[in-house]
Amino acid sequence: MAEADRITIEGGFAGFSLMIEAGRGVADAALAMLKGLAPAVSGDVVCLAGPGKNGGDALVAAEFLRRAGWPVVVRQLGDPLSSGGDVAEAFRFYRGRSEPITSDLPQRVTLFIDGLFGAGLSRPIQGELAEIVEAVNKSSARILAIDLPSGICGRTGAVLGTAVKADRTVTFFRGKPGHLLDPGRSHCGVLDIVQIGIEDTVLQTIRPTCFRNGPALWNDVRRRPQASGHKYDRGHAVVFSGPAARTGAARLSASAALRAGAGLVTMFSPPSALLVNASHLTAIMLKRCEGAEDLFEHLKDDRLNAFVLGPGFGVGKAARQYAELVLGAGRLLVLDADGLTSFADDPNRLFAASRNGDREPRPRLVLTPHMGEFARLFPDLAEDTTLSKLEKTKHASERSGAIVVLKGADTVIASPDGRAAINDTGTPWLATAGTGDVLTGILAAQLAQRTPAFEAACMSVWMHSRAAELFGPGLIAEDLPGQLPTVLTELERLAT
């Protein structure tokens, strides 16, 4: 954002014009929150203005709200005139009341506008400032944050000291990782991104590598059935089943793979589980697979192109051998759950198999850990409190040569080439047993259809979340595959 600012100002756009547009965007969002209320009988709109440009934005917004007839009070931290530049200009632009900030906040407040700190937060909020933030959070008034809720780190989403819990956050030009990564995400409330005169062309110079996940990122490379296509054109996905008492997870994955567009799906089952699998499967095929030799034979059919290993499989030697055989045969692999845990004692062995002597420049392995599984493969990264979830995932991807999907409410997807995406869609109803298994199947279907692995992973995470949103409350894992046709229909509509 600093670079976007710099290029824009260098191009002849005055810094204060950006601040005017930012303040106007904040005032518009405030007016939307105040809609239906009458200024004459409402409490004050209290603008908390910090010492930097975030405070400058607050002062500009205060002036627009004052002109719109609202009773505005500014509580100022520091001396804006001594800050100079755009902040001093904003202070002169504001024609209303201003007092130094203390923890003794006005009593009748309709709306707080939080312009204490934004991108310039440089240390934890402490002392009286922390008391002020807590008093704001406790008040029954609504809270609108400028750029970032004060106390949230824009790079990591972490709370530094304490942080404002906003109902709404207005940011400018593009979002920051801290808007999408927890706990920042939940402190933002509804996120509005407003345009303030920075041209999209600055992105050609900045070349961002981190994205908010969504169809714009991948819908044009999404593979779809061709008019004269054959089922083998859509790939043949394979899911490894666990033993007789643990077959459900693999079936969830397999049915999601079929629904998500794989042309064929086969379950490879140990002999003990053949009967129980057979009694549940129809369109999904079933093959006996007992040990490395069997798998080696099966891999001679090179139409089998994308594999899922892990859900319900069991931890141990078999998982390690199978993963190495599949990768060694040049196939695509989604490794999840027990498949990941099986490499906990020797993650480098997995990373070596992933790189396969670096013969293939494109990643063929996708790891889908939740934070617990991630910590088993990347303990140092998991422990490092200086790294954001985004940075942890990026480092893990670089180290392993695999696409890494670090799951959670704020799933992060990273590629060894440096690209990353943060997913902020979905619902908390996804936190239920088996939904991760469904994700592996959706992913295998995209890989089977030969979508590049990073885009395949981003797309699958988004489709999985969208399926949950469409189903709504009461979701269980079995419900997700049934929503995929609607998700695919929506994506078709977006593509045309």
Ligand X SMILES: NC(=O)C1=CN([C@@H]2O[C@H](COP(=O)(O)OP(=O)(O)OC[C@H]3O[C@@H](n4cnc5c(N)ncnc54)[C@H](OP(=O)(O)O)[C@@H]3O)[C@@H](O)[C@H]2O)[C@@H](O)CC1
Partner from ligand X, ligand ADP, K ion, none contacting 339, C-beta within 5 to 8 A by type? none
What is the Cβ-side half-sphere exposure of residue 107, based on CA atoms within 13 angstroms?
0
- Name the DSSP class of 177: H
Q: For residue 481, what are the contacts with CB-CB under 8 A and spacing of at least 6? A: 252, 255, 256, 258, 259, 260, 438, 441, 467
Instruction: Please report whether residue 375 would count as binding ligand ADP according to CB under 6 A.
Output: no
CB-facing half-sphere around the CA of 448: CA atoms within 13 A: 33
Contact mark string toward ligand ADP, 353..372, x via CB under 6 A: -----------------x--
Query: Among ligand ADP, K ion, ligand X, none, what binds residue 408 when CB lies within 5 to 8 Å by partner kind?
Result: ligand ADP
Query: Distance between CA 41 and CA 119 in Å, rounded?
Result: 35
Interface residues for ligand ADP in 45-64 (CB under 6 A)? none
Closer by beta carbon to ligand ADP, 39 or else 214: 214
Tokens 């809720």 belong to which residue? Answer: 149
Crossing angle of helices 453-471 and 435-448, rounded to 10°: 140
Nearest residue (CB) to ligand X, 69 versus 85: 85
CB-nearer residue toward ligand X: 54 or 255:
54
* Residue 371 near residue 325 (C-beta atoms within 8 A): no
Minimum gap (Å) between residue 160 Cβ and ligand X: 7
Query: CA 322, 327, 328, 329: dihedral to nearest 10 degrees?
Result: 90
Q: Which of 12, 38, 84, 122 binds ligand X (CB under 6 A)?
A: 122
| Residue 388 is labelled as binding a ligand | no
Contact with ligand X (CB under 6 A) among 146, 254, 274, 382: 146
**Is 407 annotated as contributing to ligand binding?**
yes
User: Is 57 a known ligand-binding residue?
Assistant: yes
Q: How far is the CB of 106 from ligand X (least distance, A)?
A: 22
User: Is there binding between residue 45 and K ion (CB under 5 A)?
Assistant: no
Report whether 258 belongs to an annotated binding site: no
Q: Which does 242 bind (CB under 5 to 8 A by kind): K ion, ligand X, ligand ADP, none?
A: none
Say how far apart CA 250 and CA 436 lie, in whole Å.
Answer: 11
Tokens of 368: 């889908």
Q: By CB under 6 A, tell whether 51 contacts ligand X.
A: yes
Q: Is 38 marked as binding a ligand?
A: no
What's the angle, vertex CA 238, arms to CA 232 and CA 242, rounded to 5? 165
Q: With binding defined as CB under 6 A, does residue 408 bind ligand ADP? A: yes
Applying CB under 6 A, does 82 fall inside the site for ligand X?
no
Check residue 170 for interaction with ligand X (CB under 6 A). no
CA count, 13 A, side-chain hemisphere, 320:
15
Site track 130-169 with K ion (rule: CB under 5 A), x = hit: ---------------xx---x-------------------
Angle at 196 between CA 192 and CA 201, to 5 degrees: 105
Report CA Rg, the chain: 26
Q: Go through the chain and tell me how many residues it has.
A: 496
Binding-residue pattern over the window 414 to 453 for ligand ADP, x denoting contact by CB under 6 A: ------------x-x-xx-xxxxx-x--------------
Asked whether residue 121 is marked as a ligand-binding residue, the answer is yes
Nearest to 262 by CA among 412, 436, 460: 460
* Pairing outcome for strands 44-49 and 210-212: unpaired
With CA atoms as reference, report the closest residue to 59 among 90, 25, 37, 36: 90
92 annotated as belonging to a binding site for a ligand: no
Residue with tokens 């908010």: 212
Here's the x/- map for ligand X, 173-192, by CB under 6 A: it reads as x-------------------
Closest separation in Å from C-beta 193 to K ion: 15
Residue 472 CB contacts under 8 Å (≥ 6 apart), including other chains: 427, 429
Contact between 114 and K ion (CB under 5 A)?
A: yes
Q: Does 311 bind ligand X (CB under 6 A)?
A: no
The reply on whether position 476 binds ligand ADP by CB under 6 A is: no
Tracing tokens 């209303």 back to the chain, one arrives at 96
- Look at residue 435 and give the partner it binds from K ion, ligand X, ligand ADP, none, a contact being a CB closer than 5 to 8 Å depending on partner kind: ligand ADP
Is 343 a binder of ligand X (CB under 6 A)? no
Angle between helices 435-448 and 479-495 (to 10 degrees): 40
Question: 406: helix, coil or strand?
Answer: strand
Q: Is 15 annotated as a binding residue?
A: no
Any bridge partners for residue 112, and if so which? 46, 143
Sequential DSSP letters for 327-345: HHTT-EEEE-HHHHHTTTT
Q: What residues are designated binding site?
A: 53-57, 114, 118-124, 147, 150, 249, 312, 370, 407-411, 436-437
Q: What residues are designated binding site for K(+)?
A: 54, 114, 150
Interacting residues toward ligand ADP by CB under 6 A: 337, 370, 407-409, 411, 426, 428, 430-431, 433-437, 439, 464
Interacting residues toward ligand X by CB under 6 A: 1, 4-5, 18-19, 22, 50-57, 117-125, 129, 146-147, 172-173, 196
Interacting residues toward K ion by CB under 5 A: 114, 118, 145-146, 150
